[in-house]
Every structure is written in structure tokens, then in C-alpha cells.
Chains A and B, each alone.
Chain A
């Protein structure tokens, strides 16, 4: 390299001249290219969205979806109405799966720990030696670790492998495993059974630590059944919830009691005793006793329509007791054989694997599609133990913590790139159908598994078809096409079985331990941590705490006060010699002596988005009690941390009732609908649409809303809403077009809360419009309040004048050039909806009522010379409880106009005379007369 000397005068001038020439030459507009197909696929229309039915998994269970692709590029996930676990709706995880597909951190090639990038051939060669040794020993030394297996094809393959190598061991590790519920059913009925509670038939429900409306593979089905029944005042029933900390179910409860996990089995015993058996149980605290009495009376009075649900942190015996109570109450519960079982095979646990590793008897360890190093209880210490395997390989979407501990890592294909099949919680099977070829050099589990049987790989398509070859009664091809088209395999639901009479279990005595009890729950956004690298989910506000980009230990105000801890203090939580540093938040509705922490954070190798965000709760959990930690010590660290939240607690004395209307069921008959304020005088001329036009409006039923955030993510996915990142959130900036506000009319220890989703109100007298100096905020003939991005000069007057605070400003080019972390990568750009403008820096944006969907339907109607059909907004399509209704007020007899006459109808801030198009239906509640003070 020549020595660095400053350029001579001549050279400087020469460089300057060259620079000017280049700059001037760069001024001409770049020529855009059109790249057509070589052979066009049949029936493909360029730029027109096409839907394909496929299936996505959550913890191994299927949720049927329709993936929307434009020009062969999947851009959006919607629910599949024919699938029993989707019913046309989605949840946050299904919505976010599309971003996972395009995640730039996905692993792309086979890697070897020492030599780095490798190939499938190299892996097969490396595998041949250990494989030969285990095959010589009938499979001894081969250990296979998978997540929950519901796929009939995978089950068939594993069964065949274990048949060929009988000494091989198959372990299943599912972090959120419902293990206690499964063991409880075995205790009660003597055989493994899965309970399917029927919330559509159960009127009086008691949840003890259970969260049926909360996140999980069955959330959509349960929430739909619950809200449909509650929509009928005659079958309203009462929901009793006793729980350690507030859940989504707790928020919908008519009677709720914060109850220490130690007291929860006792509450179940008290309910059981009211039905007869005389179990010995310790005394409950006074309020809990009254709660138990009220619940027991109500349950008994509704025999045949009453149901008791026990939570995942409760012991197997408590679950068995709940089964016993349900049998006494003739509760509407169906029982099926668990869909995640392989006939005649009981998978081993991770503890067995740890034992085998300690004995040094693991010759070949294959961890397929699971990340036990990040998500196993800390006392297993798998990261260190895996070192003792002679040969280890991990297959996954990411080079995660387990990939870091094994010798080899294989890239898996995403579910949108591979053939497979999955079963839902009720046993219904459906096919996983790829929408595009694998983006990288990955293979599916089905294609990897044969390598361990010493066979060459077969295409996943053939393997899945092989599983179902006997179906269709002679016409397999016709049956196959129909199953793919519908996204569900007809008649594949598990048959209901008669469970027989449950045994009355003996409740183990509870040893009350000093110190804090911490309940660990799956995170409502990251689930068990597998979604940690998904930026949409990281920035999705948790339904109750509204925290983003991290987790925190939630304590009640009293508990924190007793310990002298303030919100934002970082504490050192330690139990059994393990410790985790975590900030504290104060939440209402938490029982005394209890803390709440969610799993899935604190990942070290999740990727650019998820690394180092939050605290790793798995670091505290143990195999014996994965979801409940007792005797936790909290030590001060002297540090504080800003808790990033998108909604701050504000005390609005007496205004909650006005902003968020709640009605008691008894008062419903006397309730009157509240209008949008168009009877009030105004200086503005009334809104007039086109004579033959439309008048779009939305009604949101806050009673049906369970705050699950599916609408928020659906909107984000549909409308190219960018992620801003934690630093921007800390500055109070966010971009979500739709937020879900939480209102609490109760005291801090007795919540009386509800959710209110807030999109743009599309006011007929919109305060944002007259203040815009450049007319970028305008109204159209169909009543939409529009933002014209190209006119916007970024004064933000409109945002200041919007009473609903729904306008969002691009302080930076969040979507365009200044993306957070790696979100500007080419692969992420492939997710963008081509029918929605990507907003640039310096412009305002907000909810458009999915104008691209309205325009799409209008254009189709104009083209075909017909009336416009129904338009479904993205948020509406996602909602599991159909709380969001959208329609045309100008169309005679439309549902939205009818809902505006409902006695529960109200408009947000109607006194401002903004005449909003988005209005609400009030929350309903049926509080127990004897328990009223609990909610005061």
C-alpha cells in the first residue's frame, strides 16, 4: 500500500472534476425494466392477489390459513373459514408468520461448527460414520429430539425409523407443553385424553388460573365460541376467574379474584366439596371463600351448562379434580385421543436425554425443528451437556442457541415453502402447501428425516401424498385437489370418546414457601421465544401491560411497595442458585406475594432483532415446575431501566365511563343507543356523499374484543406499516395504524377493564382537515378521511388536532431507507403489499379503512358492470371474535347501520361533534350481586 499523502493540487482538481461529472451524469432518470415470464403460469393475472389454503403451526398444532400471493410472492396471511382452528380468523402468530418467511436472519446453508459453510453432501458424508455405528447397534446411541408432532407424515416417518432402529430414542420437547393437563387427564381417566371445552355450550364458567381466551393454538376456536354465546343475552352466563395475575380471560370476567397459586387448588377443592366428596382442604382467605361459594352455587344451578377449567401451572392432581368436578356438573367438554401421539410410542423427555448425555451413550444426536438449549428449563443445562454427544446436528429456521451447541446445523424450510401436514387441537388434519420454492438451500423435516434412516432424501410432496394414498375412494387425485383447495381434510377430526367416570384425586399438600412466587407464562407476543426475531411481534404491545421490546417482572402495587421497589427498577430475581436481572412493572390485579414473568425473551442467538432483548425466564425455571417458581428472592441492583410501553397509565377521574362505555347486563334493557352527535349544532356544512356513492363505516364491539392484537398485526401486514425500533418507541413514537386501548374502571387491585381498538374514526367533521396548510388531509365522496402523502409537508398540525391520536408521523424513513436493524434487507421488501404506497420520511399516515381493498372491489365491480360486494378490512378479517364490522351505510339494510341502532352503541368523544364513522358497542358485564365490592 502506498504511503498516505495528501493529494497534490492537480490531483485534487482532477478528482473534483470527476466527481462533478459523475454527479451530473447521475441526474438522468434510471430506466425501469419489465421482466415478463418465459413461460407464464396458466391463469395467472399480473398484480392480482391469489389465495392458497395452507396450514401454519403453533406449538405443533395446526391453524388453517389462506396465504395471499401477488405474482407468486406471499404477502399476507388470512384465516381459513373451513378450518376448525381458524374459522376464518387469525392470531398474532399466524399474521407474523409472513415476516418470518422473509427474515434476513434465517439460516441459508448447511454449516459445520469449525469449518463454517458446508453443503448437504458434506453433511451426509459426515453423518455416515456415526450412523453406521448406531445402525450396527440396532439404533442404540441415536437420539432424536423434535417438537410436538401432530403431522401424520412425520409421525409415520418417525415410527418407521424407530421400527428400523428399535434401540433409538425419540424425545419430545415442547416448551409450552400442557404437560400438567395431560398428566391430570391420565390421573383422572387412566389414559391419555385431550379435553376440548365447549365454551359455546357452557354458560357458567370458572377458570382457575386458566386462560382459554389467551394466546395459544386453541385461542381462536375458544374465543369465537365464547363471544358468540355471549352475544345472546339469554345465554350470557357468568364467567368466574380466579388467577394470580390478570389474563385476557380475567379481563372478560364478570367476577374475578386475584388468588395466589397456592390457594388455587384449595379453591378447586372448595368447589368440589360443594358438590359432595368432603375433601380435606385448608381454609381459604375470606374473600376467596365468598367467591368460591358464589361460583359453586352458580355452577350447581347451571348443571349441564357449567364448566371448570384449570390452568397450566396447576398440578396434575388439580387438573384431575377439575375433570371430576366437570363430570359431576355434566359439563360440556368433549374428549378425544391426543392428536400429538404416535400409536404405541411414548416419547422420552429431555431429562432422559440429559441422563443419556451424562452417561456418554449418545453417539448421534439429532435435534430437529426444536430449540431446547434456549427453551429448556435451566437446570437441564443442555448447552453444556450436548457437548458430550459424539455427533450432534440441529435443524432449524435460524442458527439459534441449539445450533450453537451442536456440530452441524441444517437450514429448515419455512412452512410457506414446504409440503407437510398437521393436525389441529381437535385432530382435524390439513395439508401444508408451499406458496413458493425455498428461498434458501433448506429442506423440510420430512426431507431430512430419511437421512437418519440411511436413505437418500425424497421430495416432501411425495412423502405427504404417500401418507394419504388410501384416501379418496379410488379418486385420489380428485380428493387431493379438493383437500388442498379447502385447506382441510374432510372427516379427519378425532372422534369423541367416552372418558368414563373420572377418579377423585388426592390433592398433594401444598408447602407454602416464603418469598415471592413467580408464575411464568408464554409471552402473548413471542410465545415460547420462537418468534423472538420477528420485529412485528417484538413491537406488538402486550395486551395488558402494553410493553414492547422486552419483558418485565410484574408485581402488584402493594407487593412492590412492601419491598420498596419502584416501577423500572432492575431487580435480581434468584431461585435455586440461578438468577436473572429483570426490570419491574406495576400491574393491577396481581395477587399478593406473586410476580408474573413471560417466557421467550433474553435470547442470545435469535438474530439481529431478538438478540439480548428482555430477560430469559427459562433461566429460572426447573423441570419439576416449569411454570411456577416458588421462594424467589428479589435483590436490588441499583440499576433502572425504562419500560417501553405504547400506552401509559393515566388516571382520568370519572372519565373512563365516558370514554369506554360499560353496561351491566341487568341495565341492558334500559340502555339507549348513543348517536354520533349529529343532532348537535355545527357551523360546518353537513357531509354529503355522492348520490350513487357509498358511505363506509365501522362498528367495533368492545364486548366481543378480547384484546388479542390480531387486528393490529393484520393491519401492519396489509398496510406496509413499518417497525420503528426500541429507541424510537422510547421517544414516544410508533407507527401502528390501529391500537388497542385498555381502560380500567376498577381500582388497582380489582380491575374492571376492557379493550377498545382505535383505528382512524374517519370523522365526517374531521378536525385534522381544516388545519392542514397544503390540503393533504382531505375527505372523499365515500366518507373516507384520506392522507395524500405527496402533498404532505410534515407540519404535523393534523396530528396535534386529532382528538383520537390515530395519526402517525414518519420522523425517519422507517419503511424507506432508514429501517430498524436489518429490516431494510431485500428479502423483507418482498413482503410489502404492492397495492399500498410505502410512505417516505416526513409524511403523516394513518388508517385508510383499507382503501386498497375498497378500491379493488370497486374496480372489479366497475369492470364487470355489477354492484359492489362486501369489503372486508384487514383488521376485520383477522378478528377471532368478529368484533369489528365494516360496511356501507348507504346500502339499505346493511349490518353496520343496524348496529348503530343497538342500545349499546356509542361514539368515542361524541361531544366533540366530530361525527365519527368508526363507532363502538359498549362492554357488557354481569357482576355477581354478592361479589360486587370486589369490582368496586
Chain B
């Protein structure tokens, strides 16, 4: 009678059984890796824009303050995207015929808004408030990175809930003096631990338990 199973069959069966067991674990691991990867978080993805606006030139080069354009960052949840008028307040004098700026001039002439592509995109169920973070001393570069070096805007942090909670659970290392909030080159001093702890006290920043409750960011 002919053998049905050849000598290697046992090995094959063991490998198949083992991989059946490992597959769900690997699948979860893969899903988790994809979930946290820049593919899903859009971290470090540079977006095309209708006008190639350079933060490197305007912030790094010219030294414009963030609030010149993002006017409501200290007053409202949204930092605000400047209206075409703000662009034209300078560009009616400077680079008046640059082809790069044609969409801006056209927008003002026709009364049609520019349509920018969103770079930092939080899900609709997250209610982030810029003004509170600024008031408590979280600087722009903490979340937006070194904007003054970016030719086109990109997102430098993952913006996952875990990333938010890292800070909400331990805000002290990220708190700055009020005057340094808009300083794009700020680096924590050597005694940041002590200073940060003092800021937490002075600015009535709530306990990590409270700051990591669902209702702080979700409604």
C-alpha cells in the first residue's frame, strides 16, 4: 500500500497549526502598526496647497508673529486661517505680479475664497481648544513642530489620542512662560521639571486624572 503521508507531513502540519495560532496575534500587531503608522496618522505628510505658502519664508525669514495671521488663537477654539485680505495687505505692495500669487489676487478680485488643504485634521468628535492651551502656556511648536523651517506645512506629531494623553497626564515638561508661547525656537531649560511644576500650580492646571477624563475633549 502506498503511504498517504510522506515523512515531512508532520512538520508541515505543525507549522500550519502554529501559524494558525500566531495569525490572529500577528494580525492584531499588524493592524496596530498600521494604525500608528504615518499612513494612518498622516504624520510628516506634506500637503499640496493652492498657493505654495512657505512658513519658512514668512516665519523663519521675515519673522512674522503667528498671531498676525492666526488671529483667534488666543480667543477661540480655532486658531483661524487668514482671509485673503490679510495676504493682500502685504502682497498688494510686495510681489504684486508673482505668478505664484495669482490665485490670491484672483480670490480677492472675484470674492471667491482660497481653498486650503487641511494639514492638522482632528476627528469631528474631538473638541480641541487653542485658546485654553495657549493660556496655560503650551507653545505652538510643542504640537506644530518647527514651523519656521517648513517650506510647505506638514504635521510633525501623530495627533493620536495616546499622544494627546501623554501630555494631559504629565503637562509639566511642556509648559512655558507666557512670553515664550509663540517662540518657535524655545527649548526647555535645565530646570524645566521644577519650573513646569510651578506653572501647574500657578495656572490651576487640573489633576492628571481630571485632564484625562473623556469629557475634557469629547462631547
Which A residues form the contact surface with B (CB < 8 A)? 29, 31-40, 45-48, 690, 692-693, 778, 780-782, 784, 786, 788-790, 835-838, 848, 851-852, 855, 859, 862-865
Residues of A near B76 (CB, < 8 A) are: 45-48
CB pair A784–B82 under 8 Å, yes or no, is no
CA distance A837 to B129 in the complex (A): 16
> Does B209 have its Cβ within 8 Å of any Cβ on chain A?
yes
CA distance A40 to B209 in the complex (A): 40
**CB-CB nearest 10 A-B residue pairs:** A37-B83, A36-B81, A40-B83, A32-B118, A46-B78, A45-B76, A38-B84, A780-B215, A780-B213, A863-B131
Cβ contact of B113, chosen from A35, A45, A835, A838, cutoff 8 A: A35
CA distance A101 to B219 in the complex (A): 26
Q: Mark B115-129, 1 if CB is under 8 A from A, else 0.
A: 111100100110101
CA distance A778 to B214 in the complex (A): 8
CB pair B209–A46 under 8 Å, yes or no, is no
CB pair B83–A33 under 8 Å, yes or no, is no
CB pair B219–A862 under 8 Å, yes or no, is no
With A34-B116, A36-B84 already in contact, the answer to whether A855 and B219 are too (CB < 8 A) is yes
Residues of A near B112 (CB, < 8 A) are: 38
Pairs across A and B, CB under 8 Å, 30 listed:
A29-B42, A31-B47, A32-B118, A33-B115, A35-B114, A36-B82, A37-B83, A38-B107, A39-B85, A45-B72, A46-B72, A46-B78, A47-B77, A47-B78, A690-B206, A693-B206, A789-B125, A836-B219, A837-B124, A848-B219, A852-B127, A855-B215, A855-B219, A859-B129, A859-B131, A859-B132, A863-B131, A863-B132, A865-B203, A865-B204
CA distance A74 to B173 in the complex (A): 41
CB pair B116–A33 under 8 Å, yes or no, is yes
CB pair A31–B117 under 8 Å, yes or no, is yes
> Does B207 have its Cβ within 8 Å of any Cβ on chain A?
yes
Chief secondary structure at chain A's binding surface: loop
CA distance A851 to B215 in the complex (A): 8
Residues of A near B107 (CB, < 8 A) are: 38
CA distance A37 to B86 in the complex (A): 10
CB pair B83–A862 under 8 Å, yes or no, is no
CA distance A781 to B75 in the complex (A): 26
CB pair A837–B117 under 8 Å, yes or no, is no
Q: Mark B68-90, 1 if CB is under 8 A from A, else 0.
A: 00001011111011111110000
Residues of A near B14 (CB, < 8 A) are: none
CB distance from A392 to the nearest CB of B (A): 40
Residues of A near B167 (CB, < 8 A) are: none
Given contacts A46-B80, A48-B77, A790-B218, list 19 more A-B pairs with CB under 8 A.
A37-B83, A37-B85, A38-B113, A39-B84, A39-B85, A40-B83, A40-B85, A40-B86, A45-B72, A45-B78, A46-B78, A47-B77, A47-B78, A48-B76, A788-B214, A855-B215, A862-B204, A863-B129, A865-B203
> Does B8 have its Cβ within 8 Å of any Cβ on chain A?
no
CA distance A852 to B125 in the complex (A): 12
With A36-B113, A36-B116, A38-B84 already in contact, the answer to whether A863 and B215 are too (CB < 8 A) is no
Residues of A near B101 (CB, < 8 A) are: none
Interface residues of B in 150-179 (CB under 8 A from A): none
> Does B198 have its Cβ within 8 Å of any Cβ on chain A?
no
CB pair B215–A862 under 8 Å, yes or no, is no
CA distance A867 to B215 in the complex (A): 19
- Nearest residue in A to B116 (C-beta to C-beta)? A34
CA distance A248 to B78 in the complex (A): 45
Residues of A near B206 (CB, < 8 A) are: 690, 692-693
CB distance from A904 to the nearest CB of B (A): 31
Residues of A near B129 (CB, < 8 A) are: 859, 863
CB pair B125–A837 under 8 Å, yes or no, is yes
CB pair A38–B108 under 8 Å, yes or no, is yes
Residues of A near B121 (CB, < 8 A) are: 32
- Nearest residue in A to B215 (C-beta to C-beta)? A780
Residues of B near A851 (CB, < 8 A) are: 215, 219
With A690-B207, A786-B214, A790-B125 already in contact, the answer to whether A837 and B132 are too (CB < 8 A) is no
CB pair A690–B210 under 8 Å, yes or no, is yes
CB pair B136–A859 under 8 Å, yes or no, is no
Residues of A near B23 (CB, < 8 A) are: none
Cβ contact of B83, chosen from A39, A690, A790, cutoff 8 A: A39
- Nearest residue in B to A853 (C-beta to C-beta)? B219
> Does B7 have its Cβ within 8 Å of any Cβ on chain A?
no
Residues of B near A789 (CB, < 8 A) are: 125, 218
Residues of A near B136 (CB, < 8 A) are: 862
CA distance A865 to B135 in the complex (A): 8
CA distance A786 to B218 in the complex (A): 10
With A37-B113, A38-B107, A47-B78 already in contact, the answer to whether A788 and B83 are too (CB < 8 A) is no
Residues of A near B219 (CB, < 8 A) are: 835-837, 848, 851-852, 855
> Does B21 have its Cβ within 8 Å of any Cβ on chain A?
no
CA distance A788 to B131 in the complex (A): 25
Residues of B near A788 (CB, < 8 A) are: 214, 218
Indicate the member of B83, B117, B215 with the most A CB atoms within 10 Å. Answer: B215
- Nearest residue in A to B123 (C-beta to C-beta)? A790
Cβ contact of A36, chosen from B75, B83, B124, cutoff 8 A: B83
CA distance A36 to B83 in the complex (A): 5
CB distance from A408 to the nearest CB of B (A): 33
CB pair A35–B210 under 8 Å, yes or no, is no
Residues of A near B132 (CB, < 8 A) are: 859, 862-863
Residues of B near A855 (CB, < 8 A) are: 127, 215, 219
> Does B111 have its Cβ within 8 Å of any Cβ on chain A?
yes
With A780-B215, A851-B215, A852-B219 already in contact, the answer to whether A33 and B84 are too (CB < 8 A) is no
CB pair B135–A862 under 8 Å, yes or no, is yes
CA distance A848 to B76 in the complex (A): 23
Cβ contact of A33, chosen from B74, B85, B117, cutoff 8 A: B117
CA distance A690 to B111 in the complex (A): 51
- Nearest residue in B to A790 (C-beta to C-beta)? B125
With A45-B75, A784-B215, A862-B136 already in contact, the answer to whether A835 and B210 are too (CB < 8 A) is no
- Nearest residue in B to A836 (C-beta to C-beta)? B219
CB distance from A192 to the nearest CB of B (A): 52
CA distance A837 to B124 in the complex (A): 7
